[in-house]
């Protein structure tokens, strides 16, 4: 009895492959993105449609799965915090082992190879891992984005001539007057000519 629901969107049936090494099957589907994929300032919206191209290949140990997908993401510009939309290309490959072959391995072998559940396999962990590794941690709305004014937070792209007049804190005005009438400290004397 399988613990995977064959109707679940990320579950694929490998029954047509059988156990004949060298046979293959291509599956193209639109799947909902797994939930909770966030890296830094970027994320994949939960449930957004992702077109995946999956190649299933029967091998001696199980089924070799190759996944290709283009996954849309949203984020915030690291400089001005505007919304940014983009996509990452994902390529991943995973071997799903036949349970009876896995059981014959040595007890010392601490393999993380996922197992087929009967003829079913769950694509979600492979897709999630590949997307999280491909997501950029930071994005920019434009490579030349000037960002925000560090003083007032104004968006500098909206006002390229944005400036602040230099207002001196009155508590420091006496030091400014003193500095104007004295030699700079640590001034390096000009070298003497010989």
β-strand 24-32 against 120-122: which pairing, if any? Answer: unpaired
pLDDT of residue 19: 81
Q: What pLDDT, in 10s, does the model give residues 45-57?
A: 998 999 999 999 9
Q: Which two structure tokens, joined as six digits, stand for 63?
A: 């089924």
Quote the pLDDT of residue 107: 45
| Rg (alpha carbons) of the chain, rounded to whole number | 30
Structure confidence at residue 188 (pLDDT): 61
- Give the SS3 label for residue 71: strand
So where are the chain's domains? Answer: 11-134
120 contact partners, CB below 8 Å, separation of at least 6: 2, 4, 6, 11, 12, 13, 14
pTM: 0.71
At 102, the pLDDT band (50, 70, 90 cuts) reads low
Nearest to 69 by CA among 156, 135, 146, 161: 135
What pLDDT shows up at residue 26?
95
Which pLDDT score, from 0 to 100, does residue 105 have? 56
């Amino acid at each position: 009895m399988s613990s995977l629901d064959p109707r679940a969107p990320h579950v694929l049936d490998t029954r047509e492959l059988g156990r004949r090494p060298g046979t293959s099957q291509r599956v193209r589907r639109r799947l909902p993105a797994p939930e909770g994929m966030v890296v830094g300032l970027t994320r994949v919206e939960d449930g957004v449609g992702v077109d995946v191209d999956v190649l299933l290949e029967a091998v001696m140990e199980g089924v070799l799965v190759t996944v290709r997908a283009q996954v849309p993401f949203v984020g915030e510009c690291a400089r001005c915090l505007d919304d940014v939309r983009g996509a990452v290309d994902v390529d991943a490959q995973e071997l799903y082992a036949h349970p009876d072959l896995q059981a014959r391995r040595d007890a010392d072998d601490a393999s993380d190879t996922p197992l087929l559940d009967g003829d079913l396999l769950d694509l979600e962990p492979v897709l999630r891992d590949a997307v999280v590794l491909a997501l950029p941690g930071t994005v920019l709305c434009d490579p030349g984005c000037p960002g925000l004014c560090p003083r007032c937070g104004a968006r500098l792209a909206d006002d390229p001539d944005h400036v602040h007049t230099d207002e001196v804190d009155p508590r420091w005005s006496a030091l400014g007057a003193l500095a104007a009438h004295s030699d700079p400290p640590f001034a390096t004397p000009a070298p003497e000519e010989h």
